[in-house]
Amino acid sequence: MFSAERLKGIGAFVASVEAGSFTAAAERLSLTNSAVSKSVARLEARLAVRLFDRTTRKLALTDAGAAFYQTCVRVLADLAEAESVLAAERTEPVGRLRLDTPAAFGRMRVWPLLLAFIGRHPHLHPHVSFTDRFVDLIEEGIDLAVRIGGPERWPPALGHRYLGRERLIFCAGPSYLAQHGTPASSDELAGHAAVLYGRADGSTSPWLIAHAGGTVERRTMQGHIVVGSGEAQVSAVQAGCGIAQLATWLVEEKLASGELVAILPELTTDGLPLNLVWPVGRQLQPKVASVVTWLADGLRVN
C-alpha cells in the first residue's frame, strides 16, 4: 500500500543529484546542509541501498542511485502534471466526463449543444451514452445524466436541476388527414388509428387529454401501431399510419416543414419533467458544473 512516507527525502535526493552537492542542494531548497544530507541518509536507510558514493570533492551516483533518480524524475513530473491539470480545472473544464442521455432527446437536443461546448473546451473528453434505460449513476460511474421523467423527490445522493416539462401535441401526416379527416374534438380521437409508445413489458403510454379547468385525463388507447421509440412514432405518423401524441421537441422541425400537421391544439398539455441529474459527490467538479450550466441554458423549457 502506498504511504506518504515513501515520498520523504525524494526532493532532497533529486536536488542533490541536479545541484551536484548537498551544499548546493541546500541553497536551492532553502534548507541547511545538515538537513539535506540527513534527509538523503534516511532515504538510503529506508531503501536499504546506497544512492551516492560520497567523496570529499563531489557526490557520485551509484548504479542503484542512477536508476532510482530516473524513476524519481518521472514520478515528480507526473505529480507536476497532475497539479497543472487540477489548476486548469479551476478555470477550464478538462478531462473525461461520462454523460448519459435518453436516445432520441440526446441525439436531437443534447448532442448538438455538447458539440458546441466541446468546440469551446477542447480539453474536455466526453464519453456519451444514448439510452432510454434509467442507469444507476453512482453504480455505473456516470458524472451527469439528462432525465425525462423521474421521481417526485430525488434521493439525497443525487443533485438535480429542473428544466421544465415537455409539451405534448397531437399530430398526423397530411396523407392520413386527407384520407380519414381531421378530428374536431377529443371524443373523435377514438375513431382514428393511434400510434402509441410501448414498452418491452407490453404496456403503452396513455394519451393525456387536457380539459377545461386544468384537469388532465389519462386515456388508454388501443394502438393501431405500438413502438418503443419516439423517432419511430414520428416516422409512422409521417407515413400516414395514424395519429400520435408527441413531444414538441421531437416534431417541431416536421411541423415547420409541413411533413406533419398539428391537430387539436387546444389539447396541448404538459408531459414529463426534464432534469439534469448528477451524483452529489461530483457536483463541485468544475467540468460537471460548467456542463450543467451550459446544458441547462440550452435545454430549459419556458
Q: What is the pLDDT of residue 284?
A: 57
Which pLDDT does position 192 carry in this prediction?
94
- Whether residue 92 is predicted with pLDDT greater than 80 in this model: the reply is no
pLDDT bin (cut points 50, 70, 90) of residue 91 is low
* Predicted confidence (pLDDT) per residue in 250-274, tens digit: 999 999 999 999 999 999 999 999 9
Mean pLDDT throughout 5-20? Answer: 85
- Does 193 score more than 90 pLDDT? yes
pLDDT at 187 over 80: yes
The confidence score (pLDDT) of residue 302 equals 59
**Closest CA relative to residue 13, chosen from 57, 64, 56, 55:** 64
User: Looking at the predicted structure, is the pLDDT value of residue 207 above 80?
Assistant: yes
Is residue 88 pLDDT above 60, yes or no?
no
Q: Is the pLDDT of residue 213 over 90?
A: no
Question: Which domains, and CATH codes, for the chain?
Answer: 4-87 (1.10.10.10), 92-301 (3.40.190.290)
Sign of CA dihedral 47, 53, 54, 57: negative
Task: Give the Cα separation of 84 and 10 in Å (integer).
Answer: 20
**43 with 28: CB under 8 angstroms?**
no
pLDDT of residue 285: 74
For the cut 60, the answer to whether the pLDDT of residue 169 exceeds it is yes
| 271/110 Cα distance (integer angstroms) | 18
The pLDDT of 60-66, averaged and rounded, is 92
Which pLDDT belongs to residue 58? Answer: 77
Question: Quick one: average pLDDT of 140-148?
Answer: 91
Q: Is the pLDDT confidence value at 5 over 70? A: no
**Beta bridge mates, 161:** 276
Position 212 scores a pLDDT of 80
Cα 33 from Cα 302, distance rounded (Å): 69
The answer for residues whose C-beta is within 8 angstroms of residue 147's C-beta and 6 or more apart is 102, 134, 160, 274, 275, 276, 277
Residue 238 has pLDDT above 90, yes or no: yes
pTM for the predicted model, two decimal places: 0.65
